[in-house]
Amino acid sequence: MKRVLNRSQKTTSAIVALMLGAVVTFTAVMSSFGGSNEADVASKMLEEEILERAYADATMEEFEIVEVEEVQKIKIYDDEYNLVETIELGEGDVIEDAKAQSLVRQAEFLTEYNNTSIYRISK
């Protein structure tokens, strides 16, 4: 089983990381220009505090872990490559439909990709 993070949480984390990088870069550029006065020091301290809070918020977020069931698809085509049957099987499932079982037995296996098996019935 695969574990995936919620897409919006991934996006939020990426945005926070980008903002953190931009602020650090901006701070480094600003500090490279000459001497600093008290206002600059206070501004830098405030920026550092904001960065620390943002980092703490980003690292403390709890991510929801969702388990995804693997679905095996079987597609059966006739000799003219017209789709005859599509079968979806969950993990540990078997083909219960007699017609579908018959078609799979008659068909010749061609290839498999992305949990999809392709069969062709030749006459």
pLDDT tens for the chain, 123 residues: list them. 445 556 677 888 888 888 888 888 888 777 766 555 667 777 888 888 888 887 777 776 666 777 777 889 999 999 888 999 999 998 888 888 899 899 899 999 999 988 899 999 987
Angle, alpha carbons 39-40-45 (nearest 5°): 100
Distances (CA, A) of 118 to 75, 76, 104: 5, 6, 10
Check: CB of residue 87 under 8 Å from CB of residue 74. Answer: yes
Q: What is the pTM of this model?
A: 0.45
Distances (CA, A) of 94 to 71, 108, 120: 12, 19, 20
Check: CB of residue 23 under 8 Å from CB of residue 47. Answer: yes
